[in-house]
Every structure is written in C-alpha cells, then in structure tokens.
Amino acid sequence: MNENGMNTCPLFIDGSWTDAGDVATEPVFNPSDGSVIARTPMCGETEVDSAVRAARAALPDWSATPVVDRARILFRYVHLLEENFEALSRLVTREHGKTLVEARGSVRRGIEVVEFACGAPTLLMGDSLEQIASGIDCDTIRQPVGVCAGITPFNFPAMVPMWMYPIAIVCGNTFVLKPSEKVPLTAIRLVELLHEAGLPSGVMNLVHGGVDVVNALCTHPDIDAVSFVGSSPVARHVYQTATAHGKRVQSAGGAKNYMIILPDADPAFTVDALIGSVYGCAGERCMAGSVAVAVEEAAQRVLPPLREALDEMKVGPTDREPAADMGPVVTRQHLDKVHGYIASGLADGASLYRDGRGVEVPQTPEGFYLGPTIFDDAATSMKIVREEIFGPVLSVIRTDSLDKGIEACNQSGFGNAAVLFTGDGKAARTFRNRVSAGMVGINVGVPAPMAFFPFTGWNGSFYGDLHMQGKEGFAFYTRQKVTMSRWA
C-alpha cells in the first residue's frame, strides 16, 4: 500500500512476489471513470538486476528440461487461462478501457499463441542429411538464446505479452517481462496463472517501471534477447540500444495504415469494416486503419453512411451495463494528445467531417472520452496523415486512381498494414504486389495474422529481422547449431 491506501503493484522475482520498496509510483487509471485503481512502482537498475540474476540462475536447469515437459506446463497454462478467461477480459477492460467484446477478442488471440507454443516438440525439430560428403553426415538442432526480456505496450495488456513469453520459455529460455506502467494488472494475473501451472522459480520474472527499466533491460550484460512493442521512436531506440549491447532484438513500432476504397467496393460492407478498423479499441492499436484513400466516387458512396452509422454509436464506460460500442482512450494525457492532432488537422486545412470532441457521457463525466472523428480532404503533407494519432480519428484523402493511392501509402514511412476494398481481382493483385506493408488486407479491415503466422511489420513499423508469432517467433528465441559427423 502507498500512503493513500492504494495498492502498489508487486514484482515477481525468482518465484516470489515482492514489494518494490521505496520508489516513486505512477497511477493506474480506470479510463471509463477516471478513477485511480492501483499504482505502478517506477523501478530501476537494481530491480532489473535482481530479476535478471534470477532468470540467469534458472536457465541451466530450464534449458535442459525436456521440451515435452516444458510444453506440458503450457498445456496446463492454457487450461488455467480458459478457466479465467472472463475475469481476464474484464481486467483488461477495467485498466485499458476496451469494450468487453474487444477485451475478450484480445485475450483469445493471446491464448492462441500459447496453444501454438504447445506445438514446440514439432516446431523445434532440426534438419538432417546423411552423406553430404564421403562418410560425413550433417544435422541442425535449435537451442535457447538465453535470458530474454519483453517490453510491452498499454494497448493490449494480455495479447502482446503472450506474443512473447510463451514461445520464449517453451524454447528453453528464461524471461523478464516489463508491462506498460499504464496497464500492469493484467500482466500480474497472467504471471500468477503461469506460476500456478507449475513453471519453476526464476523462469518467469516481472518488473515494473518506465524508461529507466527499458534502458536497463536493453543494456544489462546478462540479457541475450529483447522483444519490444510500442511507438516507432521508442522501437528504434530499443533496437539501436540493445543491438549496440550485443543483443538479438525484435522491435515492433507504430503505424499509419492506409485503406484504399475503390468505386466498386460494396458501401455497406466497407462501412462496417471501416468502423471496426478505425474505431475498434478506440483506435488505440497499431493495426487500426487511420487513413482512407477514396478513389473517384468512392467517398460519396461511403462517407455519408459511415457518418450516419457513427452517429448511432454509443460512446461510454465499458466496465458497466449497458455496454458501450466504443470506450475511452487510456489516459487524460493521451486524450489531450489526440485533441492536439485534431487541432493540427484543422490548422492545416482539412475539413472536419465529423467532430467527436463534443461527446457527452453523463454517467461518467470524468472518463477519457472522444467520439468517432473524421477528417475529409486531407493531404499526405498534413501531420494528421503523416503521424500515428492512436485514437478514433480517420483522415480521408481523395484521389482518382489506385496507382495514386498506392503511391500515397508507400510514402508514409510506416509499413504495418494496408487494406484494399474492391471486387476487382486484378486490382487486388496489383495492390498486394506493389504496396509496401507487411500485412495486407483485401476486404479485411484489420489484417492481423493469427498465432501461426508472423506479425510482419515493415519499414518504420519494425526494427529487426525475425518477427513475433509463427515460425519466426521460434526462430527468434532459438539459435541453430550445425553438427558434421564422420565416424571411421
């Protein structure tokens, strides 16, 4: 407890929960009503070192544990996650502000990664070839990288951590997790359940904090690999800092995802997809569609019904009934930042087609709310188009060809997702081949891959070589060893 009687989040080191001690704390909010529900200790090098030493000490025994036994712990973990599915989803809603439907979906996606990791005995198999030369055979095996760290963002308190540690530990590594200081409660519960599943002490550790902890993890000599998800500037910093200290790094950043709408796109279907992509999770996700490129008469066909649908959308608290269609953004500070982008769009000459700033939520007036917002007649030179807003704001660019839409998309500097709405197969093929993005949607508003495919951001949306999830995730958390044998 702190001096105000508010629970301060504990650390998990070497199999035990412990207090951070006399360190500063930051508030954890319920975004729906603005109340403080916990406090996050802002730890530093000392706490990171304790967690890393515990992980390093546990590494020899854990890496020598048969892979089938490591996988069996994850099978038990899946069972516990399913038993606690609803409680975890409500916890995500409480500390992040997602609707319960969105929270359930994100927890489900996280569990799917754990299920995928349970296939480690097959996914870790190597290759072999006999008689590569006279009397010589060759084979490869995969071995753990060592001590791994995960630094995760506020927007997916359950899913993004589960992109990392289940694959890392089933590969035989040990792990130190630093969740976002804005949403630590879900991560604490995930670690509790993992320990309950029977994971040995020291294999999984949890620390809290901000930039000091991030830098300590990136520079600690006993950490071998770092996984990060967050904004692009921080992703670049993590990549540059950690690689300079000899670590393997996968660092996923932000995005500015373009959605090109051709005139032949079905208006009703496109409107539904736009609502889910742009305004799902209040726009706080790196796969959110944030720029719509309307080709020829597509704007006239789509924008009026989109605005009508948004006028019917209920914005409000997500932690009580009746449920809202869209919840708040994560903090008052972030709400002010998004308001700043709206002011910038107006100053740059974009037309505010729908203004969400006046949304009223009388039952929880202290919540961090912004209604669905649309800018029309935007241009690629504007800040609202160039930068990631991370809120429920759509910028619409009008153009007269698919080629110009692809060109605008490819100039953005990011490369997470790109989407095309059309019924034209030739246009879809052209788009897929030419667009500079790692994840492409054809009539799919949020083309986020499932656990057995990699999350393949490009350009300024990713720093590193091996992506998260899928076979690339297993490749990242292992090193290959090649053995050549000759027996006289």
Given a contact cutoff of 8 angstroms between Cβ atoms, the answer to whether 379 and 275 are in contact is no
Instruction: For residues 432 and 466, state if they share a domain.
Output: no
Angle of helix 45-64 relative to helix 211-219, nearest 10 degrees?
A: 50
Instruction: For residues 238 and 294, state if they share a domain.
Output: no
Band (322; pLDDT cuts 50, 70, 90): confident
Instruction: For residues 248 and 296, state if they share a domain.
Output: no
Beta strands 16-18; 11-13: pairing state:
antiparallel
Q: Which helix (H) or strand (E) holds 191?
A: helix 184-196
The answer to the question of residue 451 being in a domain is no
DSSP conformational letter for 158: T
The answer to the question of residue 450 being in a domain is no
Instruction: For residues 271 and 236, state if they share a domain.
Output: no
Query: What CATH number did the domain enclosing 164 receive?
Result: 3.40.605.10
Instruction: For residues 120 and 46, state if they share a domain.
Output: yes
**Total count of domains within the chain:** 2
The answer to the question of residue 48 being in a domain is yes
pLDDT score, position 6: 59
pLDDT score, position 323: 80
Instruction: For residues 132 and 49, state if they share a domain.
Output: yes
Rounded to whole angstroms, the Cα distance separating 92 from 86 reads 10
> In the predicted model, is pLDDT for residue 74 greater than 90?
yes
The answer to the question of residue 191 being in a domain is yes
The answer to the question of residue 272 being in a domain is yes
pLDDT score, position 83: 98
Q: Chain-centre distance of CA 355, in angstroms?
A: 28
| Residues designated catalytic | 286
pLDDT score, position 283: 97
pLDDT score, position 3: 39
Task: Please state the rounded mean pLDDT for residues 300-322.
Answer: 95
Query: What CATH number did the domain enclosing 329 receive?
Result: 3.40.309.10
Q: What's the pLDDT tens digit per position in 433-446?
A: 999 999 999 999 99
Instruction: For residues 275 and 341, state if they share a domain.
Output: yes
> In the predicted model, is pLDDT for residue 164 greater than 50?
yes
The answer to the question of residue 363 being in a domain is yes
List alpha helices for 312-369, DSSP H: 332-347
Paired residues of 143 in beta bridges: 479
| Single-letter code of the amino acid located at 66 | P
From residue 358, alpha-carbon distances to 361, 369, 457 in Å are 10, 9, 35
| Single-letter code of the amino acid located at 44 | G
Q: What's the pLDDT tens digit per position in 464-481?
A: 999 999 999 999 999 999
Band (320; pLDDT cuts 50, 70, 90): confident
Instruction: For residues 34 and 111, state if they share a domain.
Output: yes
Q: What's the pLDDT tens digit per position in 370-389?
A: 999 999 999 999 999 999 99
Q: What is the pTM of this model?
A: 0.96
> In the predicted model, is pLDDT for residue 5 greater than 60?
no
Instruction: For residues 48 and 124, state if they share a domain.
Output: yes
Band (316; pLDDT cuts 50, 70, 90): very high
The answer to the question of residue 449 being in a domain is no
Q: What's the pLDDT tens digit per position in 444-456?
A: 999 999 999 999 9
Instruction: For residues 266 and 380, state if they share a domain.
Output: yes
- 322 upstream amide cis, omega within 30 of 0: yes
Instruction: For residues 336 and 384, state if they share a domain.
Output: yes
The answer to the question of residue 5 being in a domain is no
Which residue range is the domain that position 281 belongs to? 257-442
Give 3-state DSSP helix, strand, coil % of the chain, rounded to 5: 40, 25, 35
What residue has token string 């702190």?
2
Q: What's the pLDDT tens digit per position in 37-71?
A: 999 999 999 999 999 999 999 999 999 999 999 99
Instruction: For residues 242 and 279, state if they share a domain.
Output: no
